[in-house]
Amino acid sequence: MSIAAAGALTLSVIGSSGLAAALDDPYGDSDVAVSVEIPELEGPGVLAMTVAGSSAALTESGSTATSRQFTGTLPTVTVTDTRDPADIPEGAFWYVLGSITDFTGDAGQPDIVSAESFGWAPALVAGDPGSVSAGDEVDPGEGFVDSEILSVAYDSAEIAPEGSWSANAGLELLTGATVAPGQYSATLTLSLFE
């Protein structure tokens, strides 16, 4: 095992000094032309949603003597529409909703009811704000149920050629000061509808 480690170290050192020598005294340059042909999309195109991550961590921030507050950021949600406007039914429009389970403790703590404690503040981060808008802010206690994060302001066929739109959201969990300590988790489901 020590021989293999020594061999790896030796190769690393030789490789580094060889690279330094090549950079100091090149023996010649040669260019390589790189090209690509991108064909036009065939088929009806798609309306699709992607999310830039699969988790979000909330950390304590802004707590008071009477309440505990935990905040974080939702990974960026992007909706892409590559359909031909002629393929979209007249008057159709799309929107993205979020729903969340209750927060469950890992050691038998009582659940934290999300409808009473969870909220978010969506924000459009890419795309034309004249055609697509972020959903309304939902404060903890307002009843977070099927809340909108992103939606078309007009019909889908009018904006499909524009491509893609992205939003994220500030997340907030607000509990009483006597909430049981421990690790909690919930699942936030994002769904694209048209």
Backbone angles phi, psi at 122, to 5 degrees: -70, 150
Q: Domain residues for 174?
A: 47-193
Residue 104 forms part of a structural domain: yes
Residue 76 forms part of a structural domain: yes
Task: Say whether pLDDT at 6 is over 80.
Answer: no
Total length of the chain: 194
Task: Say whether pLDDT at 46 is over 50.
Answer: yes
Q: Which residues contact 141 (CB under 8 A, 6 or more apart)?
A: 116, 117, 119, 174
Residue 31 forms part of a structural domain: no
Q: How many domains does the chain have?
A: 1
Could you tell me the pTM of the whole model?
Answer: 0.74
Mean pLDDT for 97-119 is 91
What distances in angstroms separate CA 137 from CA 36, 113, 127, one per listed residue? 44, 18, 19
Task: Say whether pLDDT at 16 is over 50.
Answer: no
Residue 105 forms part of a structural domain: yes
* Lowest-pLDDT choice from 10-14, 117-121, 172-176: 10-14
Shortest CA distance to 119 belongs to which of 94, 144, 101? 144
Residue 84 forms part of a structural domain: yes
Task: Say whether pLDDT at 13 is over 80.
Answer: no
Residue 19 forms part of a structural domain: no
∠ CA(8), CA(14), CA(17), 5° rounding?
140
β-pairing, 184-185 vs 188-193, is unpaired
pLDDT at 23: 55
* Lowest-pLDDT choice from 9-23, 50-64, 72-86, 130-144: 9-23
> Which residue matches tokens 């991550």?
53
Highest mean pLDDT among 38-42, 105-109, 130-134: 105-109
Residue 180 forms part of a structural domain: yes
**CATH number of the domain that residue 114 is part of:** 2.60.40
Q: Which residues of 86-97 are buried (b: 16+ CB within 10 A; e: fewer)?
A: eebeeeebbbbb
Q: Which residues contact 157 (CB under 8 A, 6 or more apart)?
A: 85, 86, 88, 89, 90, 92
Residue 3 forms part of a structural domain: no
pLDDT tens-place string over residues 134-191: 999 999 999 888 898 878 766 676 776 668 889 999 999 999 999 999 999 999 999 9
DSSP string, 88-157: SPTT---EEEEEEPPBEETTSPPPB-HHHHEEEEEEEEES-TTTEEEPPPB-TTS--SSEEEEEESS-HH
Sequence letter at residue 160: A
Mean pLDDT of the chain: 80
